[in-house]
Amino acid sequence: MELKDKKIIVTGSSGMIGSNLTGKLRDEGANVLLFSRIEGVDLRNTKNIPAVDNVDLIYHLAAIMDVPYSFENPRDVLSANFITTLNMLEVARENDSLFIYTSSYLYGTPKYLPIDEKHPISPHNPYSQSKYLCEQLISGYVRDFDLKAVIVRPFNIYGPKLNKYFLIPTIISQLNSKEIKLKNPIPKRDYLYVDDIIDLLIKIGKKEFSNFEVVNAGYGKSYSVRELAEMILSIANSDANIVFENVTRKGEVLDVIADISKAKNKYNWEPNVDFRTGIKKMYRAKIPNYKQQISNKSK
């Protein structure tokens, strides 16, 4: 369907993905309703969710996403992510809306690479467990109420506005120090730039669906923590030393690569921003005078 004049809810609209998605949807001519705490909407409380009608599409992005926090506060993460999804599913059911849900990497230690959507599910921390429970809830609504739903499983999304506690901002924030302290150089991740997942979400929203889909979102290539850190140092022309503590996180997965053939074939989509270009974009956003900074260091 065309998105022009469609009424669309975006939850988590103040986050990195949500804020970028909102702008693109408005460029498409959509009537976008913002559901986030910044907008005064607490999705955990049904009394706090605005009454709406004739909603064509819901992008449900809102979630507590911090993995270390999920180990310390599992009740908070599991209950918040589940209840907010349940409440938005009810909005979708009442409006007969297409429901597009951003899940997460749920495959645990890979049995094979690249990882397609048929790979066995194996949540490996409380956060991914919460996302798996939400997926099961969505599939139940599809079964019981003929809801139309698409679950998108992003691997690792990055870009400007990424939470400062994630790896890339952590490295960038230490560039002015003599040492960049990191835990483990070995784990590899498949990184997708935020503009590319926005493109996929828009294309999914325009597609006519009969029922239910699950689709991976990644780039199709992985980089280690060491490779990432060295790339950022190169881009920043930094002479800082990288110091690894060689600490392995609980539930750590050492390598992931997304099989994105389904997204390519079904939605005519593929990522456009390679990793180095994406890191440059992110670094420039964090360090606005980066060109002058590079020039000064080269003198």
d(CA 72, CA 253): 19
Residue 1 located in a structural domain = no
Structural domain contains residue 76:
yes
Per-residue pLDDT tens digits for 68-90: 899 999 999 999 999 999 999 99
Looking at the chain, the whole-number percentage of residues with pLDDT higher than 70 is 96
Look at the alpha carbons of 44, 46, 48, 49 in this order and tell me if their dihedral is positive or negative: positive
Answer whether residue 208 is part of any domain: yes
Q: pTM to 2 decimals?
A: 0.92
Under-70 pLDDT residues of the chain: 287-299
The total number of structural domains that make up the chain: 1
Boundaries of domain holding 137? 7-161+192-220+257-272
The per-residue pLDDT for range 190-221, each reduced to its tens digit, is 999 999 999 999 999 999 777 899 999 999 99
Instruction: Give me the pLDDT at residue 229, please.
Output: 96
CB 150 within 8 A of CB 117: no
Inside any domain, residue 294: no
DSSP string, 160-208: TT--TTSHHHHHHHTTTSSEEEES-S--EEEEEEHHHHHHHHHHHHHS-
Q: For residue 216, what is the domain's CATH number? A: 3.40.50.720
Distance CA(182)–CA(196), nearest Å, equals: 27
Please indicate, yes or no, if residue 281 is contained in any of the structural domains.
no
Say if 34 falls within a structural domain.
yes
Rounded-to-integer distance, Cα 12 and Cα 202, Å: 16
Mean pLDDT computed over every residue of the chain: 93
- In angstroms, the CA 68 to CA 66 distance is 6
In this predicted structure, what is the pLDDT of residue 120? 98
Q: Give dist(CA 107, CA 227) in Å, integer.
A: 23
Assigned domain for 196 exists:
yes
- Domain for residue 53, yes or no? yes
Is 160 within 8 Å of 281 (Cβ atoms)? Answer: yes
